Amino acid sequence: TGAISSLQRQMEIQESKLRSIRSEKEMLQKQLREQEVQLQAMSDQFFSLTEEQKQEEMMVMLEEENRSLQQVVMEQESQLAEQNKLISELQETISQLQAEVVTTRLNLLEQKAAQKEIQSQAEALQHKELQTRVALERISTKFERYRNKIIQATFSMEGIQDPLGELTDKEVLEAMQKIFTERTEFQQMLKHKGSR
């Protein structure tokens, strides 16, 4: 019984780590959207300028910011790939632990001699579980703060209707994508106008 409980706790810890990694992955995706909001703000500033020299300077700034964003996107996509790899590894570990639970049930009578050692391991796992839970709560709080900032920045822009209720991640992403698309079209229009 002690061995089974220990393995189940190990499974819970691994599953907790898996949820934590997925939360970090979503946070990185939200950060990408936050960069897009910043670019949209730059576009709005550019739209309000009337002097030709300032428009040219703002165009240069927009192009530099766009290159910077592309670099950030590449870096964060690399991080997401690493997170996906880690998720796969954790899922494999959880499957292995589930198999060990089944084996432990069959060999329960032979494990009585090792009960004290298993109890010690269980205590260590409980300590690790507590640490993991604390870390997960901290990450969840940070993620929610980022998400609220993104929603506030997105729906405070002119022309964006206020949300009617609780927003899903998909709805936030669609609003961000709309802003990014409009900014890109506006930038292309300005380039075309400048070439003429």
DSSP 93-156: HHHHHHHHHHHHHHTGGGGGGGHHHHHHHHHHHHHHHHHHHHHHHHHHHHHHHHHHHHHHHHHT
Residue 50 has pLDDT above 60, yes or no: no
Q: Is the pLDDT at 165 greater than 90, yes or no? A: no
Cα 169 versus chain centre, distance? 11
Q: How large is the average pLDDT for residues 133-157?
A: 85
In contact, 24 and 139? CB cutoff 8 Å: yes
Roughly what angle, to the nearest 10 degrees, separates helices 169-195 and 2-48? Answer: 30
What pLDDT shows up at residue 106? 78
Query: Average pLDDT of the chain?
Result: 80
Task: Please report the pLDDT score of residue 132 as a whole number.
Answer: 93
pLDDT, residue 109, reads 62
Every domain of the chain and the residues it spans: 10-119, 124-194
Please, is 167 exposed, middle or buried when counting C-beta atoms within 10 Å of its C-beta (0-12, 13-18, 19+)? middle
How high is the pLDDT of residue 126? Answer: 93
For 30-42, what is the mean pLDDT? 80
CA distances (Å), 108 to each of 57, 122, 125, in order?
Answer: 75, 16, 20
Q: How far apart are CA 99 and CA 57, in angstroms?
A: 63
Name the region of 159 (left: φ>0; alpha: ψ -120 to 50; beta: rest). left
Predicted confidence (pLDDT) at residue 54 exceeds the cutoff of 70:
no
Region for residue 51 given its phi and psi (left: phi exceeds 0; alpha: psi -120 to 50; beta: otherwise): beta
More confident call, 166 vs 125? 125
Q: CB neighbours of 177 closer than 8 A, spacing ≥ 6?
A: none
Distances (CA, A) of 82 to 33, 50, 66, 140: 20, 46, 24, 20
